[in-house]
Structure formats: C-alpha cells, structure tokens
Amino acid sequence: MIGFVLTCITAFFFPGLIVKTKSIASGRKGPGILQPVKDIVLLMRKGSVFSKTTGFIFQIAPVVTLSCVLCALLVIPFANQKAIISFEGDFIFFAYLLALGKFFAIIAALDTGSSFEGMGANREAFFSMLVEPAFFILLATLAMFTGYTSFSGIFRHFFITGNHYVLVYSVIGFYILIQIAMIESSRIPVDDPKTHLELTMIHEVMILDNSGFDKALIHIGSYLKFVIYGALMYNVIVPAGWNRFLQIALFLMVQVAFAVIVGLIESFRARNKMNKNPKFILALSAITWLAFIIILLLTDKLILA
C-alpha cells in the first residue's frame, strides 16, 4: 500500500519536474513544478464537450483508460512488501491492463471520425505492438534469472540470487525500461508532446476532441503511467531488503532522476523522422533479446558447443 500511495503522490510532481528540467536546460525560468497540476485542476472545473459524430465509446474511454492504469499500479510491489494484487504471471496481466486502456484510447480517437485522430491512433497502435516484445523479453529474462513469475517474487529475490552479474542486469533493465516508457508515453524520440504539426503528432492528436474533465483524466493517466515505469526502474536497481525509510527516500530519488532524464532527453535530442521510429523500436527489442542471450550464457543456462 505504501508503494501505491508514493506512486500517486509522485505523479503530481513528475510532469512539473520534466518541464522544469527542460526550462533550466534551455536557459529559461519556466513555470513552477506544480503548474501541470494546476492545469489539471483548471480542466476539472470545466465541462466536457462532445461532438455529434462521437458515440458512447468516446465518452467512457477516458475513465476506462485511467481505471486500467490505476489497476496496473496495484500489481507493482514496493520494497519487501507484496503488491496489493500478486499472482503467478501477473506481469502479463499488468501489460495487458495497460494495453486495454490504450485500446480504448485508440477506438475513442477513431470514434471521432477525424482522419487526423485516426492517423495518430494508427501510429500509437503500431508502435505499441513493436515495443511489446521488448517488455516481455525483459520480464521473461528477470523471471528466468530469479525463478519467479510475479512482480513481487521477481523483485524480492532479484538481488539475493548470489549471482555476480546482478548489477549488470540492473543497468540493462533500467535502460530498457526508460526507452519503453518513452515509447509507450509517446515522448521524444518517438513523438514530441509539444508539437503543433498534426501530420507528425501521435498521442496529442488522438485527444484533440477531448476537453474539460475528460481531458484531465487522460493527462492524469499519462502521468501515472510514467511514474509506474519509474516504480519498475526503482525495483530493478534497489534491493528489496533495505531499511523501509531508506527505501522511501530512494524511491523518490529514482523518480526525480527519471523525470530529470526525460527532461534532458527532450532538451538535447531531436525527434526521429516518422519512418525511422519502427527501426528504433525494433532495435530496442533486439537489444533486449541480446541481453536475454547474454544472461543465458552468464548463468550457464545456454552452453555453446
């Protein structure tokens, strides 16, 4: 339960830290850290406007998407505690909960009848399909390494396996999760959330017809999804058996570091050309597969003749 509360609290500050980092990197004062939260409060005070071309799906999609993200959060453990929902193979449940939320966001964009939103939905679905193997290969690697197939079991026993290469696995997992988070959240280098050119937009073009309270729910879901991946990174690099107060401090530090990394990436890296994105995402899956083979070799589970 501590992890759930910490993640929700961190989500309020995470987008502001990204914006602040980008402002400092560009030599500007920029808005305050809580400005994105103020924007959400402002949106919540406004009513939602629905086009006559949209149907029931468009109206329920923001609630379903946010609900899926919150349910996925219940599967993530904290420190030495089991997750609120924990069972064998729960990382598959986690992945497809997020996929269900994204599915509703996609069909809601299609429900508007807009060619631009349909184009963004197509790209969102395509890129999510390409990055899915990287996530499952990474989790399969960790499951094979620890002998457990639940998040709680994997992260509780990750650092007590006695393997000398556990630090190498942590660094690889941290890097891969950062890239997956950037792709799943439609951030640079795959997409630029600040772009205003509809032909090159992905996530932002999908929510052009959303307004008011519904748009606030979509933004909250996006912020929570980022912090969820940050929680996974924390579990990969911090041993579960350490002191509880130290764990809380390290959790917050990892989340701040993740937000700063995202801000720096978006400050100094250009967005890929649209036709380069599939190659970039497939390269990530290839790196994950290579890491899987290396771990097989290092743990003597794959012997080359």
Residue range 207-241, pLDDT digits in tens: 989 999 999 999 999 999 999 999 999 999 988 87
Full-prediction pTM beyond 0.85? yes
Tell me, yes or no, whether 305 lies in a domain: no
pLDDT at residue 65, as a whole number = 95
The more confidently predicted of residues 131 and 192 is 131
> Is residue 304 assigned to a domain?
no
Report the DSSP beta bridge partners of residue 144.
Answer: none
Q: What pLDDT was estimated at residue 1?
A: 75
Is pLDDT at 52 greater than 90 in this prediction?
no
Q: pLDDT of 5-17, one tens digit each?
A: 899 999 989 999 9
Answer whether residue 247 is part of any domain: yes
- Give the pLDDT score at 208: 87
The Cα 102–Cα 83 span in angstroms is 23
Q: How far apart are CA 76 and CA 84, in angstroms?
A: 8
Residue 303: inside a domain: no
Dist. CA 234–CA 251, nearest whole Å: 6
Q: Cα dihedral angle (282, 204, 121, 287), rounded to 10 degrees?
A: 10
Question: Is there a domain that residue 90 lies in?
Answer: yes
Look up the domain containing 147 and give its range: 2-298
CA atoms within 13 A on the CB side of 285: 16
Whether 23 maps to a domain, the answer reads: yes
Omega before 15 within 30 of 0, i.e. cis: no
Q: What is the DSSP letter of 34?
A: T
pLDDT at 162 over 70: no
| Residue 15 resides in a domain | yes
Considering the domain boundaries, does residue 10 fall inside one?
A: yes
Mean predicted lDDT score pLDDT of the chain: 89
Q: 300 in the Ramachandran plot: left (φ > 0), alpha (ψ -120 to 50) or beta?
A: left
pLDDT of 299 above 80: no
Q: How many CA atoms lie within 13 A of 163 on its CB side?
A: 21
Q: Encode pLDDT of 83-139 as tens digits.
A: 999 999 999 999 999 999 999 999 999 999 888 898 889 999 999 999 999 999 999
Identity (one letter) of the amino acid at 111?
A: D
Residue 304: predicted pLDDT: 53
Angle between helices 115-146 and 90-111 (to 10 degrees): 180
Average pLDDT over residues 35-63: 92
Looking at residue 298, what is its pLDDT? Answer: 73
Whole-number Å distance between alpha carbons of 248 and 242: 10
Q: What is the tally of structural domains in the chain? A: 1
